[in-house]
Amino acid sequence: MALNESIQLGELPKTMKAIVLEKPNEQMQLSTAELALPQCDENEVLVKIEYVGLNPLDAQFAKAGFCKWQYPHTIGLDAVGIVVQANKGLFPSIGDRIMWHSSLAQQGVLSEYAKVPNYSVSVIPDGVPSSTAATLPCAGMSALIALNKIQISEGDTIFIEAGAGAVGQFAIQFAKQRGADVFTTASKHNHKLVKKLGADAVFDYHDKKLCENIRATLGPQGFDAVIDSIGGETTVRNIELMRFCGRIACLKTLPVLAPELMFRKAPNISIVSLGGAWLANSLCAQQHMSFMSKLLLENVADGKIIPPEQFIVDFNDVCISRALEKQISGNFTGKQIVKLQ
């Protein structure tokens, strides 16, 4: 899939099509714009985008905006594409197919071309389709960070909220790789899916007796660890389900936690912030994103991890706006992928 390595800047177009947010709005209405081609710094590569994976964050920020953005802003965080410009000796090279999760503070990747620091990307193995790779970055890396923060190891009991969501699917599989006993929640029609991924026990999150049923299955000791992707009162409930000094990784902002609960459970609370690697200007954390991407790609290539089901979205503002509505509603299982090429 490599391009001709003789591609030079002069052979590239001067402008490109991009999907932009003119201003935050409840309807998540987007526009199509013609923008100048990005100009790369010394350690950046220019990429011709093939696919962009959509995430709940994209919908959240289309509604509310983000403090670092100037408008109009190109949205999109997860990208797959082919390097078309790179300084001599820089890795990856022209023609390489790469995957990455981009900076939340910079312009997004829903455009025909995008630039990215070379040290934050991973080259995609030949056996992994570009559309599959686009399902991996945000959800897969968030799951890995969460598991690392709560130090999952063999014999641990872990409770993973929303197991049929993209983060949940990756977390279940990687937790099983580490030898954990996995408990999760999902709608009844997704129980078969999460069991296939390795969940040992699955509970219907609509069940009014959810906590009672979990305790009846788990026993009185409580979970060693929790991955909480829901937030709010669910976080409070999950801390109640943990053992004393249990570990919880939260993907959402913490709610107000009662002092009595904190004293009684003494939880070890971690916050998962994939975008923080960019917002904190942490070169080490940005390089670590490349390592995690490589791990995800290798596991998919080797058949050790099953990626979420893909739903292809056309590269136009109306279709992408509708897709973002689905991200908010949560009434689907899998990953929506925008196809540009």
Torsion angle, CA of 57/59/62/65, rounded to 10 degrees?
-30
- CA–CA separation, 66 and 73 (whole Å): 10
pLDDT of residue 71: 97
Give the closest residue to 31 by CA, choosing from 65, 81, 75, 94. 75
Question: Contact at 8 Å (CB) between 207 and 227?
Answer: no
pTM given for the model: 0.95
pLDDT at 8 over 70: no
Give the pLDDT confidence score for residue 258 in this predicted structure.
Answer: 97
Q: What is the pLDDT of residues 61-81, one digit of tens each?
A: 999 999 999 999 999 999 999
Q: Has residue 7 got a pLDDT over 70?
A: no
Task: Look at residue 296 and tell me whether its pLDDT is greater than 70.
Answer: yes
Lowest-pLDDT range, 105-119, 214-228, 326-340?
Answer: 326-340
> Which of 229, 228, 231, 225 has the alpha carbon at shortest distance from 244?
225
State residue 3's pLDDT score: 41
Locate 139 and state its tokens.
């959800």
What pLDDT does residue 328 have? Answer: 87
Predicted confidence at residue 67, as pLDDT, reads 94
The CATH homologous superfamily of the domain defined by 9-135+275-339: Medium-chain alcohol dehydrogenases, catalytic domain (3.90.180.10)
Q: Which residues, in sequence order, are bridge partners of residue 311?
A: 336
232-269 confidence digits (pLDDT tens): 999 999 999 999 999 999 999 999 999 999 999 999 99
Contact 183, 208 (CB under 8 A): no
- The DSSP secondary structure of 1-64, one letter per residue, reads -PPPTT--GGGS-SEEEEEEESS--TT---EEEEEEPPPP-TTEEEEEEEEEE--HHHHHHHHH
Report CA 30 to chain centroid distance, whole Å.
22
Mean model confidence pLDDT for the chain: 95
* Backbone Cα Rg of the chain: 21
Q: Count CB-CB contacts under 10 A for residue 309.
A: 13
Alpha helices in the chain (DSSP H): 56-64, 130-133, 137-149, 166-177, 191-197, 210-218, 233-240, 259-265, 276-279, 283-301, 317-329
Q: Are residues 105 and 75 in contact, defined by beta-carbon separation less than 8 angstroms?
A: no
The pLDDT of residue 300 is above 50: yes
167 has pLDDT over 80:
yes
Q: Which residue has the higher pLDDT, 5 or 42?
A: 42
What pLDDT score was predicted for residue 10?
A: 55
Taking residues 11-35, what's their average pLDDT? Answer: 97
Q: Which of 16, 17, 24 is nearest to 72 (CA)?
A: 24
What is the dotted CATH code of the domain comprising 151-271?
3.40.50.720
Domain coordinates in residue numbering, the chain: 9-135+275-339, 151-271
